[in-house]
Amino acid sequence: SENTMDEDTRQDLRARGDRFKAWAIERTVETSAPVQLLELPLEIVSKATSSRPRDRSETPEEISVSLNPSTVIKTTHVTVTRTQEIEESRMLLPVVSEEQRIMEVINHNPCVVLCGQTGSGKTTQVPQFLYEAGYGSLGTDNPGMIGITQPRRVAAVSMASRLKTEMGDAADRVGYQIRFDSACQPETAIKFMTDGVLLRELATDFLLTRYSVVIVDEAHERSINTDILIGILSRVLKVRAEMSQEEGSTTRPLKLIIMSATLRVSDFVENKTLFGVSPPVIKIDARQFPVTTHFAKRTSLKYVDDVYKKVCKIHNKLPPGGILVFLTGQGEIRQLCSKLKKSFCKTSSSEYTPKVRLSGREVTLEAEDVDFGNDIQDEENSEAEEFEESSSDEMLGCTSQPLHLLPLYSLLPTSEQLKVFQAPPTDHRLCVVATNVAETSITIPGIRYVVDSGKVKEKSYNRDTGVQSYDVKWISRASAEQRSGRAGRTGPGHCYRLYSSAVYERDFNEFTMAEINRAPIEGTVLQMKNMNIDQVVKFPFPTPPESRHLREAEELLSCLGALDSDGRITELGQSMAAFPLSPRFAKMLTIGGQHGCLPYVISIVAGLSVGSPFLEEFSLAEPLDVEDEKQVLTNEQLCKKEQRKRRRKEFFVAQQQFMKLDPMSDVLKLLSVICAFIYSQDKQEFCEKFFLRPKAMEEIDKLRKQLTEIVLSNSPVALGRNGTYEKKPSLPKSVQIKAIRQIVAAGFSDQAAVRADLVPSESIKEFAKGFKKGIIYVVVARSGQLETCLENCLAIVHSSSVINCKTTRQAVPDYIIYQELVRSSGGSDRVYIKPLTPISAQHLTILAKSTPLITYSKPLEYPRPVVSSDGMSRECMVVPRYGVGKGWE
Ligand code: CDP
Ligand code: MG
């Protein structure tokens, strides 16, 4: 429907959203007086003792308890007819026996936090309670939809489907929306969606007028989206409450329910900037059977192989009960599944010859025989040890019982995902191989054995480059507990951890840190601005980053042209926000499509992100330690020195190969290396020959491919004529080399330096004389002025830079752009800059137009950038189409 909206409507919506936001945020900052709340105990601890069928007569037909009118929504009860089977299974859920209490607290409070173990029925039941209480009903008194957000798409779709089944005659009132896929109708009353979808809705409808309740599920995961969502919703609640009390208002108050699988909710509850007062916390005690945890003796390195062995052993030797395996991603899951399939899932019986060869004592672990307790044992002294020792690889796949093998990961088609909820065929043992989604989002019935790799694929960030990647990491101890808990839902169970208790104690964090505190702040601020949240410093984060960092991030973003002078996102900023990268690199990629430079720019971004691939022991410059020369050296030392000299010479010759494109630019040298690596036949040999770190080169190449994918998905035509992308970039033409320099400068226009001798300041010149060696530059501060503090402003060209290379007869460039400023580790306060790209003053002025840099010729009067009357467009080719240089087109 958004596509059919005309441009004017869209702009109007956006402007309205903006106004509301500014209004809401300002207002809520003023009104520090807490919203008046009902006197309810802050913690309502309930124990699910018996599954008590609900007595309908207890529920009043009309709920309109009115002590605090701003929080009460007048609703009319709705009856849902479910099948007998569904009703019975619902009765077993701890949340259902607490319906009345939960609804009472929800009715009387604008925001409620609900904690309950995975599988207690939060996600599937609470929306139904609300629906029955009349929250989702439509009509003249329409209070609006019930929205439920999930961090994962799998969960949004599968939970919606489950609810459809449960709600019987009201199935068509359930819908879902995820990115690129929506199943919502006008009559949808309960809407499941990813948190990203609701954030996008907020950008156009800040008051969420279509909703009466929003449930933020899986809040314990603390994704950036969840945190931002809770921050915004805290404001929407207040604004809706205030508006509902205005004379003749038709607006109704909004309810917020935060649901968590853990009790760690203090960031939402105790943070007074969010809701003014602490929202009540409802804890649901779920019945949980004891789970025996077995640690491995040694931590597995090839965990997929070890998982395979473990599953085989469980399947061969242990009593019935489903197996749930935790791995990190689709690749691993498929690998394991195909191995297991070969062993256990032979379809034709002639093909399959069970050979039961149990060496040693046969171990039968009956649930009753085993001393189940929630104690954690090391494998050494556990009953399972014998089971461990008596087994060998030979007997893998020797049981006659077939395995009902099901993978579960987010990219799996929905119909496949939903299979995990169906009972396995008779005589089959269920084995689900899942990602983290089975940790708390999805409860699979009938699991008795959990095999935990201890790993998770986590979004991680390089603080310096802002590059996001998914890395395989250790889970937290809290996650490990959650995973073992999955084995104790239907009866006593076992959890096999493929890591030792020592590793668990030493290497595992207690909790997973909130993503917002791990991610580089510039990227987050850019994303928030892209959601039209203009005042990030005042934003009510559950765990706020330091406001100084937020301000610095805003400054950098305006420097890059991503924000306008009012701090609002520009068109350029919007394009940049599409890249999961540091905003600098995002800008380079955004404007990198000019002159066919994109493949080169992608390579450069990959290279700069990973860091220099050159072996550091050699550098192009002479060693700086002059002292050495004076010492009398022993033969051995002389020999070593000779050897080193020879290696250095070789290194130098090798490096020369890469300096042909541009003898004065480190960045172009890096580009040459990357491209040559792509063409090289034997990568190992190539790295040896040219003094490169193979690991770094591989990483660069991997990132280059990933970035290419991202760019292709953002703008398929950007990467080349006919939309086809050349896998191997050809040699750039001279016009492209010029453009590349400018594109790099556009990403780092706030990191410029001017050669010290060009600065007409006697004191600086005097000071520069103090440096005996090296080429000295004066760093231009972001304000466009020269740094006032002399110690801070003089920087030496790092010894690894090609600018130091003495054989080139080229003049040392006047202006350069640097990526990194490093302080020497020794006692001296010297500052080095690397890697460098020369840039002309004119280009710098144009490319950094959005920054005050244009004024930097004023105070010190060094070579004033020349701006001719007909513009620089002929010279400066990369005048961006995006905002920055509008006057130059
Ligand atoms: O959200 P929470 O973890 O508290 O529990 P839930 O997801 O609402 O699940 C409640 C129960 O419904 C569990 O026993 C699930 O196994 C079951 N369920 C199901 O049988 N089929 C589904 N598609 C989803 C849930
Ligand atoms: Mg849930």
What does the pLDDT look like over 879-888, one tens digit per residue?
A: 433 322 222 1
Q: How far apart are CA 523 and CA 732, in angstroms?
A: 31
Predicted pLDDT of residue 398: 54
Q: How far apart are CA 147 and CA 626, in angstroms?
A: 71
Q: How far apart are CA 589 and CA 706, in angstroms?
A: 13
Residue 118 Cα to ligand 1 middle (Å): 8
- pLDDT higher at 43 or 271: 271
Which ligand 1 atom sits nearest the alpha carbon of residue 440?
A: 3
Which residue among 118, 124, 490 has the greatest number of ligand 1 atoms within 8 angstroms of its CB, and so is best to mutate?
124
Would the pLDDT of 94 be above 70?
Answer: yes
Q: How many C-beta atoms surround the C-beta of residue 349 within 10 A?
A: 9
The residue whose C-alpha atom lies closest to atom 20 belonging to ligand 1 is 421
Residue 458, classified by CB atoms within 10 Å of its CB into exposed (0-12), middle (13-18) or buried (19+), is middle
Predicted pLDDT of residue 882: 34
Which residue among 162, 257, 263, 440 has the greatest number of ligand 1 atoms within 8 angstroms of its CB, and so is best to mutate?
162
- Using DSSP's 3-state secondary structure scheme, residue 693 falls into coil
The closest of 411, 435, 431 to 420, measured between CA atoms, is 431
The residue whose C-alpha atom lies closest to atom 15 belonging to ligand 1 is 443
Predicted pLDDT of residue 709: 81
Mean pLDDT within 109-123: 91
Mean pLDDT within 372-391: 37
Q: In terms of DSSP bridges, do strands 111-116 and 181-183 run parallel, antiparallel, or are they unpaired?
A: unpaired
Q: What are phi and psi of 778, to 5 degrees?
A: -105, 125
Predicted pLDDT of residue 400: 67
Residue 119 Cα to ligand 1 middle (Å): 5
Mean pLDDT within 263-291: 85
Q: 882 near 561, Cβ under 8 Å?
A: yes
Angle between helices 694-714 and 598-610 (to 10 degrees): 140
Predicted pLDDT of residue 869: 37
Residue 167 Cα to ligand 1 middle (Å): 14
Place of tokens 């749930």: 324
Residue 718 Cα to ligand 2 middle (Å): 41
Predicted pLDDT of residue 722: 44
Residue 483 Cα to ligand 2 middle (Å): 14
User: What value does the CA radius of gyration of the chain take, rounded to a whole number of Å?
Assistant: 32
Q: How far apart are CA 508 and CA 479, in angstroms?
A: 10
- pLDDT higher at 831 or 883: 831
Q: How far apart are CA 734 and CA 830, in angstroms?
A: 36
The ligand minimizing its distance to the Cα of 161 is: 1
Residue 114 Cα to ligand 2 middle (Å): 11
Ligand 1 interacting residues, C-beta cut-off 6 A: 93, 116, 118-125, 158, 162, 421, 443, 445
Q: 88 near 140, Cβ under 8 Å?
A: no
Average per-residue pLDDT for the chain:
75
Q: How far apart are CA 370 and CA 873, in angstroms?
A: 80
Would the pLDDT of 219 be above 90?
Answer: yes
Give the range among 34-48, 436-450, 841-855 with minimum mean pLDDT: 34-48
User: pTM of the predicted model, to two decimals?
Assistant: 0.69
Residue 172 Cα to ligand 1 middle (Å): 20
Share of the chain above pLDDT 90, in %: 21
The closest of 581, 457, 441 to 512, measured between CA atoms, is 457
Would the pLDDT of 675 be above 50?
Answer: yes
Tens-digit pLDDT profile for residues 262-273? 888 888 888 888
Name 682's Cβ contacts closer than 8 Å, sequence gap at least 6.
none
DSSP H/E element including 748: none
Q: How far is CA 178 from CA 131, 152, 153, 218, in A?
A: 21, 9, 6, 16
Q: How far apart are CA 203 and CA 44, in angstroms?
A: 35
Which residue among 443, 447, 486, 490 has the greatest number of ligand 1 atoms within 8 angstroms of its CB, and so is best to mutate?
443
Helix H segments across 755-835?
762-769, 790-793
Predicted pLDDT of residue 355: 29
pLDDT bucket at 413, cuts 50 / 70 / 90 = confident
Q: How far is CA 659 from CA 552, 669, 684, in A?
A: 36, 5, 21
Q: How many C-beta atoms surround the C-beta of residue 392 within 10 A?
A: 12
Would the pLDDT of 453 be above 80?
Answer: yes
